[in-house]
Structure 1
Amino acid sequence: MTDSTDTPRTPHSPAAAQPAAPAEHTAPPVSEELRAHFAPLLRDSLVERCRMELLTLDAGGGTASMPVAGNTQPAGLLHGGATIALAETIASFAAILQAREVHGEGAQAVGTAVSALHHRSARAGTVLATCSPRHLGRQVASYLVDVHDEAGALLSTITVSTQLLPPR
C-alpha cells in the first residue's frame, strides 16, 4: 500500500494508523515463596518439559521465557502450539493469583478460551511472553500476551480468558 507520493507505508511510518498501546504493567519478580508453592504443581508438566520459566508475576500479569530449542516444529521453527502454551501458562498463573485475591486462598482459575495470531516465528534463542490484563473481575479474568524474540520482534499476539473458581 502506498500513499499519494508512492512512499511505501511501514508499521513505523506516521502515515500508517497505529492503535494506542496499552499501559505497561510491571509485575514483581517471582518470589522464592511463590516458586516453592508452584514447584510441586510443575513437576512432570508441560511447563517443565518445554523449559518455561516464570520471571515476573502478579494478578495483573507477568513475564515468562522459553527456549526455542526443543520447542520446534519439523521445519525448525518455533512451534505455534508451544508459543500458545507459553502464553496460556503465564496468563493462567496470573489468573490463579487474581482468583485468590477475590476468593481467598485455595481458589483456582481454569482456561476457557485462547486465541492466537502468529506474526512470525523464531529459529533459535529464547522467547519472552509478556502478559497484561484486559479484564480482572470476580468470575472472569482475561489477558493479552505478546511473545517476542530476543531482538524484540513481535512473534505472536495471544488472548487468554479464564474462569475464576472459589475454593471447594
Structure 2
Amino acid sequence: MPINPADLPAIDRPEQLPERMGIELLKLSLDEVIGTLPVTGNRQPFGLLHGGASAVLAETLGSTLSALHALPERFPVGLELSCTHHRSATEGLVTGVARPIHIGRSTSTTEIVITDAEGRRTCTARLTCLHRDTEPQTRL
C-alpha cells in the first residue's frame, strides 16, 4: 500500500542536498511530484544552470515519487539516472514534473521533465530506483 504524502520523511533539513540547492516540492501525489529549483546559486562558470543541478532536481523528484509508492515496506534507492539537456536556463526557476513509467515491487522508473520559466523543456531525465527490503544504513 502506498504511503501518505504527509508521512514522507522530510527532505528539507539543512544537511540535505535539496535544501542547500533551494529545491521546493510543490505537489506530492502517486501520479506526479512537482518541484522547483532556482537557477541563481546553481550555475556553472558560464552563467548557465549547471547540468548537475538539473540531475539533482530530477533525482529528488523521481526518488520522492518512488518513495510514495514503496514506503513503508520497501526503501527506494537510485539505481540509474539519465539526463538529456535540451537548452540552457540562465535565470528564474526551473520546474520539474516527475511521472511514473513503471512501478513494480522491486523497481520503479520515472520520467522527469524540467522546464524553464517560459515553459520550454530544458532537460528530460529518467530515474530507475531499486526498492530494497531493508532501510539503507548511513555511515558517519
TM-score, normalisation: structure 1: 0.73
Task: Tell me how far 1:107 sits from its aligned partner.
Answer: 2.8
Contact 1:66 1:126 in 2 (8 A): yes
Partner Cα distance (2:73, 2:85) in 1: 35
Q: Where in structure 2 are the equivalents of 1:75-94 lying within 5 Å?
A: 75-94=46-65
The percent identity for this pair of structures is: 33
Looking at structure 1, the residues matched to 74 and 10 of structure 2 have their Cα atoms a distance apart, in angstroms, of 14
- Where does the alignment leave 5 or more consecutive residues of structure 1 unmatched? 1-29
The structure where strand makes up a greater share of residues is 2
Contact 1:54 1:63 in 2 (8 A): yes
Look up the SS of the partner of 1:130 in the other structure: strand
Moved segments of 4+, more than 6 Å: none
Instruction: Choose which of 31, 38, 43 in structure 2 pairs with 1:72.
Output: 43
Give me the whole-angstrom Cα distance separating, in 2, the residues matched to 1:78 and 1:92: 21
Output the CA distance in 2 between the equivalents of 1:87 and 1:146. 8
Identify the residue that residue 82 of structure 2 maps to in structure 1.
115
| Equivalent residues, number | 132
Q: Distance in 1 between matches of 2:109 and 2:83?
A: 14
One-letter amino acid of the structure 1 residue matched with residue 64 of structure 2 = F
Q: Does the CA contact (< 8 Å) of 1:60 and 1:98 recur in 2?
A: no
Change (3 A) 1:43 1:106: farther
Show the counterpart of 2:138: none
* 2:3 corresponds to 1:43: no
Instruction: Structure 2: give runs of 5+ residues left out of the alignment.
Output: 136-140
Structure with more relative contact order (C-alpha pairs < 8 Å, separation 6 or more): 2
- Cα separation, 2, equivalents of 1:64 and 1:42: 16
Alpha-carbon distance change, 34 to 150 in structure 1, aligned in 2, over 3 angstroms = farther
The answer (yes or no) to whether the contact 1:65–1:128 under 8 Å persists in 2 is yes
Q: Aligned Cα RMSD in Å?
A: 1.9
> What amino acid does structure 1 have at the position aligned with 2:90?
R
Letter in 2 for 1:61: E
